[in-house]
Amino acid sequence: MANKVLMKGNEAIAEAAMIAGCRHYFGYPITPQSELPAYLAKHMPKRNGVFLQAESEVAAINMVYGSGGTGVRVMTSSSSPGISLKQEGISYIACAEVPCLIVNVVRGGPGLGNIAPAQCDYFQAVKGGGHGDYKLVVLSPSSVQEMADFTVLAFDLADKYRTPVMLLSDGYLGQMMEPVEMPDASNIKKYDKPWATTGAVGRHQNLISSIHLVPEDMEKHIHHLYEKYAEIEKNELIYEEYQCADAEYVMVAYGITARICKTACVMAREQGIKLGLLRPKTLWPFPKQPLAKLAGSKNVKGFIAVELSTGQMIEDVKLSVNGVKPVEFFGRTGGVVPSPNEVLLNVKKLFSLK
């Protein structure tokens, strides 16, 4: 226990980012992620890092574009409305292959909405968000410990594949305190970045750009990106199965919702219902094969996607299950978070269980 400290999720990301070697942060204030920039404003100067509060999210993401292009580890964070503003920049960053971390501490939307926890930005994170043919690696922590661990992982994946990575969190994970053991700095891997715009000393020009005027060139570049994405799908998928071995019904849930579902699983077992949970830790890549496999298993009678939205991830669940078994949905939205009991009642209702 000695090295476990009680921390807010937002602070855990900030501390882990510095451990991962991030010394550049550009952002703009927004609730419920304010503890993250506040922490970095305090600690970056002590570690010779740059903390810059930009005039807007639009500026902040373009600072990330410039900074990441020079090869340093860089991040930004925001919450839903701010992430919307960042989409143009994210599209440029994806195309120009600039490694960086973007944290979204999701809140209730659309519009100004509210500051309560939500998962309504799944489509935006996983299906593009900005314009054009691209993907983000999307990591979904479900505890304060994972807020820290996935931050380190995100920087690694970003550098390894020269790609932007998003940490998709929510207001509860950002605000809650749990014990966390900070990742070990000595395990941080460093990557060569011969492509970075650091000044062309003894070499040809390096260029960070997203313009490909000739359609054939653009197509070739997009194919290059998608080859990379295929590698990521092959190598980097992570997920957790909980009480799935003998499950008759499998919930699919991520982030804070997965924890609520875990408690619902325990309650279900007490009532003799064989309920399991599949929790994607990467939302892209999505655990298609594991779900397909569960769908093919004799025990499993059906799936239920549980989300803090009106149903977004369920589309990926359906694509994975591919009609083999029924896929139902339960969700609360607008910042409302269901209790484990509410989840269980709805599972029972949807599958007519006693």
Ligand X SMILES: Cc1ncc(C[n+]2csc(CCOP(=O)(O)OP(=O)(O)O)c2C)c(N)n1
Contacting residue, 21, 29, 334, 340, with ligand X by CB under 6 A: 29
DSSP state letter for 54: -
Task: Tell me if residue 75 falls in helix, strand or coil.
Answer: strand
Task: For other proteins, give the closer residue by CB, 114 or 297.
Answer: 114
Task: Tell me which of ligand X, other proteins, none is bound by residue 326, counting a contact when its beta carbon lies within the kind-specific cut-off of 5 to 8 angstroms.
Answer: none
Tell me the C-alpha distance between 133 and 86, whole Å. Answer: 17
Contacting residue, 135, 262, 279, 281, with other proteins by CB under 8 A: 262
Tell me the C-alpha distance between 274 and 267, whole Å. Answer: 10
Least distance (Å) between residue 254 CB and other proteins: 14
Least distance (Å) between residue 79 CB and ligand X: 8
Task: For other proteins, give the closer residue by CB, 259 or 325.
Answer: 259
Tell me the C-alpha distance between 100 and 327, whole Å. Answer: 35
Site track for ligand X across 79-118, x = CB under 6 A = --xx--x---------------------------------
Edge-to-edge strands, sheet with 239-242: 239-242, 275-280, 249-252, 302-307, 327-331
Nearest Cα neighbor of 289 from 241, 344, 351, 353 is 241
Site track for other proteins across 72-111, x = CB under 8 A = ---------x-----------------------------x
Q: If 0-12 CB within 10 Å is exposed, 13-18 middle and 19+ buried, where does residue 88 land?
A: middle
Structure tokens at 253: 């849930």
DSSP state letter for 52: E
Contacting residue, 57, 149, 316, 328, with ligand X by CB under 6 A: 57
Using CB under 6 A as the binding rule, whether residue 295 contacts ligand X is answered as: no
Tell me the C-alpha distance between 70 and 84, whole Å. Answer: 25
Using CB under 6 A as the binding rule, whether residue 328 contacts ligand X is answered as: no
Region near other proteins per CB under 8 A, out of 16-24, 47-55, 201-209, 288-296: 47-55
Contacting residue, 66, 326, 334, 340, with other proteins by CB under 8 A: 340
Using CB under 8 A as the binding rule, whether residue 51 contacts other proteins is answered as: yes
Least distance (Å) between residue 28 CB and ligand X: 6
> Binding to other proteins (CB under 8 A): which residues in 170-189?
171-172, 175-179
Nearest Cα neighbor of 239 from 289, 172, 170 is 289
Contacting residue, 16, 17, 19, 28, with other proteins by CB under 8 A: 28
Tell me the C-alpha distance between 326 and 301, whole Å. Answer: 7
Place of tokens 């014990």: 179
Residues that bind ligand X (CB under 6 A): 28-30, 57, 81-82, 85
